[in-house]
A and B are shown apart, each in its own frame.
Chain A
Amino acid sequence: MMVAWTIYISFLGALALLLMPKGNAAAARIVALLTALAGFALALAAFCTHRSGEMLTVTRVPWIPSLGIEYHLAADGISLTLVLLTGVIAVAGILFSWNVALRTQEFFAFYLLLIGAVYGVFLSYDLFLLFVFYEIVIIPKYFLIAIWGSTRREYGAMKLALYSFVGSAMVLIGLIAAFVVSGAKSMALGDLAGYAFPAHFQMWAFPLVFVGFGILAGLWPFHTWAPTGHVAAPTAASMLLAGVVMKLGAYGCLRVAMTLFPLGLNSWGFHVLGLGSWRDVFAVLAVIGIVYGAMVALVQRDFKFVIGYSSVSHMGFILLGLMTLNQIGLSGAVLQMVSHGILAGLMFAVVGRMVYERTHTRDLKILSGFNLNHAIPFAAVVFVIAGMGSMGLPGLSGFVAEMMIVIGAWRAFPLLAVCVGVGIVVGVAYIWRAMQKAFFAEPEMVLETHEPLAAISIPEKLGAMILIAASVAVGLYPQMLLRVIVPALNSPLFEGLRKGNWQ
């Protein structure tokens, strides 16, 4: 299958950018865009030709034979859905970074390196390989933020890198331990998921690996890297961070932690503070994340922090969906990964690129003086659409995904589902507030002296169109994705989960 080339072509593009003669920013943009488009085309082709959602091997060659480690790429419905998301976000991100003038080649080289590694994580079947790609992601992320970022960029970048590395360290301990316990014959996902690990081992390995991945997925209370990192990052990097990198964490939780250690979700046999299992613990943390993220977003002055905390809130939905352990909740979680990827990308594009780079401020009080809905109406329209999606209005992707998760949660944890309702209401409020203050403020507060803002450029319009189209497509016809996600969840890989607490 050609889909493996999404990885190679991104890395080759990065290499080509580094080797190109210096100083030609226009050529660098074109090369980067073509690379991302090629990756997207390959992802789309693979997605469209994939019929039933089952796991298909893409590439499989021995890598470290003495340990049974293979270079094994495979794709099922879930990974292909996320690969497609990565392709969309990658193209849009490049369109929104069309104006990067500082060290352009290096910027796009790091960008493509990150994209290639993200493709790699989604396509890896061997867990050693998955971990390799997962860690490669950390380094370009750091430099993208530290070099091209804004507000407290070096702090944000280092915090993000260390949080990610600590998370992956936890994952590494769990993976090596699982490898040893299973007899050190193979690191393939299927083999390890098929091995019956002792229950007491799963009881500590599951939370270790789940939290390890969860850190990157913005699991409360380990989410604090996310707002600072998102705010510090340049627009394209925020889009990637919120759009796909956080999904790596959620994907790892589902793909690795939950399939390898399904018994870790079982009841402890006793109750602490009313919690009877790791499943309860993580469900409660997820709901706290939803409500807390939304509440904090409600009181931010910095426009980008609003979006940053909204990401924490939306990622909480994904983690809650995973913990429902029923088909509708889990498929909703995967759908929410896609939906949040698109919508968060869109919002960061509006805030970071369309607004901040024109007004040079993100303070909502000052922004209200710019009268943005007249100055850049396109940005206002895009933000309204993205906001509607984020609030969960029907017709956009957020509605389907969140509804499925809430239904799933209602079956599994009725009480928590009520709390989620509170989170959704607050979600409407913070979007409304940000929209009101940034774009539709009262005219008497208009600043007198400022130059007219530059018009929205073609690449920006194009990027916004792509993302809106993707969100509408998913919102109107979710079956497009669900047709491959649901069979993937019913595959033998998730056997252990279905046998356990499946409802």
Chain B
Amino acid sequence: MSAFHNALFQLALPEIILAVAALAVLSVDLLVLRTRAIRVRAAVATALASGGCALAMVRIFFAAHSANVMDGMLLATPLIQLVQVALLLMAILTLYVAVDSTFSEHVGEFILIVLLATAGMMFMVASHNVLVIFVSLELVSLALYVMTGFDKRSPRSAEAALKYFLFGGMSAGFLLYGFSLLYGLSNSTNLSQIALAVQGRPLNPLLIIALVTTVIGFGFKVAAAPLHFWAPDAYEGAPLPAAAFIASSSKIASFFTFYTVMTLGFAGVEGVAWPHGSAGWVPMLALVAAASMILGNVAALAQSSVRRLLAYSAVGHAGYMLLAIVSHSQTSLAALIYYVITYALTTLGAFAAVGVVQEATGGDQLNDFDGLSRRSPVLSACLFIFLLSLAGIPPLAGFFGKFYLFFSALQSAPRPLGLIWLVALAIAMSAVSLYYYLQVLKRVYVTPPAADAQKICVPWLRMAVVVSLAAATLLLGAAPHILLRWILLAGVQ
């Protein structure tokens, strides 16, 4: 028994480190630094928390690269560890984006929640058991609801949080219902056992309901149309670091888990997408993907708030990424991970840059960006890189992500080129997306600044984070193999 406990402890050690760091942050903040200035408290708490994340990363590097506790309850594989490291990295970056913000006096609590959400995501990606997945998903979701509503002075933050919470609660209910049906069908909570029980038989109505509710639950998390209604409000109303975290970290974890659940748990009932369709989850997801691409990109055209624009573009990007699940091969898994990691980095950077503008001008409307290139050239250059990467212009990370994703989708359908209609739609929609990204950049570079506009002074730490994210976007685009090599190495083993 103690050997089992030991194994569990070893495997969960990174998450335990995070939890301990979270508690340490909270107690130091409340007990020691209570009376100090916010800046000091934020600096100490951020340092402690990022130290905890770094320690967890180190632990992952030195941990066994393959482990399995209680038949998939908690796993370690190189791929899972890669995703966990990416999650920790995103958490650190989010903390440094948050370090100068002033939306709340409760610095310690905010950082605690970021760390707990990260721990939840790490459990979520490391399990093949629907129960553990659900519980950790709820841990993540609750943390994200709280983060969204963290700015107590802003009614929009509260509104966004309530909306997010109501939609989220409902979709969690759907997901749990689906999982319970799966348990009923297979008498197991393990994904592979579930797959054994459901495959090879004609689709029965219960299984179809389970499939649909699972897709609803995860579709909500990844903000796929038509389950995206929370996203624009949350992206716009939440405090900036919270919105950035929701848009980046939670995407990585949700997509990876979504992929795992669909390909492991529903192996054997994939079906084939149009035009040679047969029933299963592939045609269903293909439809969701197509709807997300169209709706996200078209709705983004009409936005005047840049954060809402990013939200709708996130719906579009979710559509592209769903393509990887639709084509579900080893290559498309690698493509998905490459895409979602670079997307998270880019989005975080874009949010950080938008945050700076919002603090300087008091808004995130398009006309708040007028003449930004004359007010802060470096920040504008970074925003230029982020937005063009999202649009998929080479040599930025977003381009290779798209190229590899579309390539894998074309290659790995049951018959090569089977998904070409979906890929063609995706590429057409990314042409649409160039229009709205250029609308923002036009404000930044073309429109003259307002007559009374001053130079924008960016806190150096924030600037350092933004510049390094921009550099990473450029580097991963110009030399994609840096990241791709790790993904492929991890995937092959």
Contact = CB atoms under 8 A, between A and B. Distances in A.
A56 interface: no
Contacts, number: 78
Contacts of A176: 403, 406-407, 410, 423
Interface string B442-462: 100110000000000000000
B394 A177 contact: no
B480 A64 contact: yes
B427 A173 contact: yes
B393 A177 contact: no
B7 interface: no
Given A147-B445, A169-B431, A180-B410, A136 B394 contact: yes
B485 interface: yes
Contact of A169 (B416, B417, B430, B445): B430
For the residues of B in contact with A, the DSSP-based class is helix
Contacts of A128: 403
Contacts of B484: 64, 66
B411 A180 contact: yes
Given A135-B393, A138-B393, A181-B416, A162 B434 contact: yes
Contact of B446 (A147, A166, A181): A147
A452 interface: no
A67 B485 CA distance: 11
B411 A166 contact: no
Interface in A407-436: none
A65 interface: yes
A169 B399 CA distance: 12
A88 interface: no
B388 interface: yes
A72 to B, nearest CB: 15
B427 A161 contact: no
Interface of A: 63-67, 128, 131-132, 135-136, 138-139, 142-143, 146-147, 154, 158, 161-162, 165-166, 169, 172-173, 176-177, 179-181, 184
A63 B434 contact: no
A161 B420 contact: no
Contacts of B445: 143, 146-147
B293 to A, nearest CB: 13
Given A142-B438, A177-B420, A184-B411, A132 B395 contact: yes
A179 B481 CA distance: 18
Contacts of A135: 393-394, 399
Given A64-B484, A162-B434, A169 B427 contact: yes
For the residues of A in contact with B, the DSSP-based class is helix
Contacts of A169: 427-428, 430-431
Q: Which of A128, A132, A165, A166 has the most chain B CB atoms inside 10 A of its CB?
A: A165
A166 B395 CA distance: 18
A136 B427 contact: no
Interface in B479-493: 479-481, 484-485, 488
Nearest to B406: A176
Contacts of A181: 416-417
Q: Which of B400, B411, B438 has the most chain A CB atoms inside 10 A of its CB?
A: B438
Contact of A173 (B393, B420, B480, B488): B420
A105 B438 CA distance: 21
Interface size class, chain B: 20 to 34
Interface of B: 388, 393-395, 399-400, 403-404, 406-407, 410-411, 416-417, 420, 423-424, 427-428, 430-431, 434-435, 438, 442, 445-446, 479-481, 484-485, 488
B417 A66 contact: no
Contact of B435 (A131, A154, A158, A177): A158
B446 A154 contact: yes
A136 B411 CA distance: 26
Nearest to B428: A169
Contacts of A147: 445-446
Contact of A161 (B404, B406, B434): B434
Given A179-B407, A180-B410, A139 B393 contact: yes
13 contacts: A63-B481, A65-B481, A135-B393, A136-B393, A136-B395, A142-B438, A146-B445, A161-B434, A169-B427, A169-B430, A176-B407, A176-B410, A181-B416
Contacts of A65: 481
Contacts of B420: 173, 177
Nearest to B434: A165
Contacts of B442: 146, 154, 158
B424 A180 contact: no
Which 7 residue pairs are nearest across A and B when measured between Cβ atoms? A132-B394, A169-B427, A180-B410, A146-B446, A165-B431, A180-B411, A169-B431
Contacts of A166: 428, 431
B130 to A, nearest CB: 33
Nearest to B477: A132
Contacts of A162: 431, 434-435
Given A136-B393, A180-B407, A184-B407, 4 more contacts: A161-B438, A173-B424, A173-B427, A177-B417
A177 B419 CA distance: 11
A154 B485 CA distance: 42
Contacts of B428: 166, 169
A132 B445 CA distance: 23
Contacts of B399: 132, 135
Contacts of A142: 438
Nearest to B433: A165
Nearest to B446: A146
